[in-house]
Amino acid sequence: MTHAAHALEHHTSTGLDNRKVAIWTFIGSECLFFASLISTYLVYKGRDTTGPTPDEILQIPLVTVGTALLLFSSLFVVLALNGAQRGNRKSLLTWLGLTILCGIFFISMQVYEFQHFMHEGLKLQTNLFGASFYTLTGFHGTHVTIGVIWLITVFITAIRGQLPPEKSLNLEMAALYWHFVDVVWIVIFPVVYLMK
Partner 1 sequence: MATSAVSHAPHAAVHVEKTGLWSWITTVDHKKIGILYGATAFAFFLIGGLEALLLRIQLGTAENTFLTPEAYNQLFTMHGTTMIFLAIMPLSAMFFNFFIPLMIGARDVAFPRLNAFSYWVFLFGGLFLNASFLFGAAPNGGWFGYANLTSKQYSPGLNIDFWVGGLQILGIASLAAAVNFFTTIVNMRAKGMKLMRMPMFVWMSFITQVLLLLAFPVITVALILLMFDRSFGSHFFVPASGGDPLLWQHLFWIFGHPEVYILILPAFGIVSEVLPVFSRKPLFGYAAMVFSGIFIAFLGFGVWSHHMFATGMGPIADTVFALSTMLIAIPTGVKIFNWLGTLAGGSLQMKTPLYFSLGFIAMFIIGGLSGVMHASPPADLQQTDSYFVVAHFHYVMFGGSIFALTAGAYYWWPKMFGRMLHEGLGKAHFWLMLIGFNLTFFPMHFVGLHGMPRRVYTYPEGLGFEIYNQIETAGSMILGFSFLIFLYNVFRTWRGPANAPADPWNGATLEWSLPSPPQEFNFAEEPEVHSRDPLWETKREHGGPLPEPKRVSGAGIHLPNPSYWPIVTALGIPTVFTGVLLLPQIGPWGIVAGVLLTFFGTFNWAFEKP
111 binds partner 1 (CB under 8 A): no
Q: How far is CA 105 from CA 11, 31, 110, 123, 179, in A?
A: 41, 24, 9, 23, 16
In angstroms, the Cα distances linking 113 to 59, 61, 176 are 9, 12, 27
What's the CA gap between 61 and 53, in Å, rounded?
A: 18
Best CA proximity match to 51, nearest among 118, 107, 130 = 130
Q: Which is nearer to partner 1, 36 or 108 (CB)?
A: 36
* Under rule CB under 8 A, residue 48 binds partner 1: yes
Question: Interface residues for partner 1 in 115-134 (CB under 8 A)?
Answer: 124-125, 127-128, 130-132
DSSP code at position 189: I
Subset of residues 135 to 164 that bind partner 1, contact rule: CB under 8 A: 135, 139, 153
How far, CA to CA in Å, does 138 sit from each of 37, 118, 142, 191? 11, 14, 6, 15
The answer to the question of residue 33 lying near partner 1 (CB under 8 A) is yes
The residue within the footprint of partner 1, chosen from 29, 61, 90, 161 (CB under 8 A), is 29
30 near partner 1, rule: CB under 8 A: yes
Verify binding: residue 55, partner 1, rule CB under 8 A. no
Using the rule CB under 8 A, give the single segment among 37-45, 65-73, 82-90, 176-184 that binds partner 1. 37-45
- Is 10 one of the binding residues for partner 1 (CB under 8 A)? no
Nearer to partner 1, 72 or 114 (CB): 114
Contact, 20 vs 170, CB < 8 A?
A: no
Q: Does 47 bind partner 1 (CB under 8 A)?
A: yes
CA 75 to CA 93: how far, in whole Å?
14
Q: Which residues of 47-72 are buried (b: 16+ CB within 10 A; e: fewer)?
A: ebeebbebeebbeeeebeebbebbee
**Per rule CB under 8 A, is residue 22 in the interface with partner 1?**
yes
Binding site for partner 1 (CB under 8 A): 1-2, 4-9, 11-14, 16, 18, 21-22, 25-26, 28-33, 36-37, 40, 43-44, 47-50, 124-125, 127-128, 130-132, 135, 139, 153
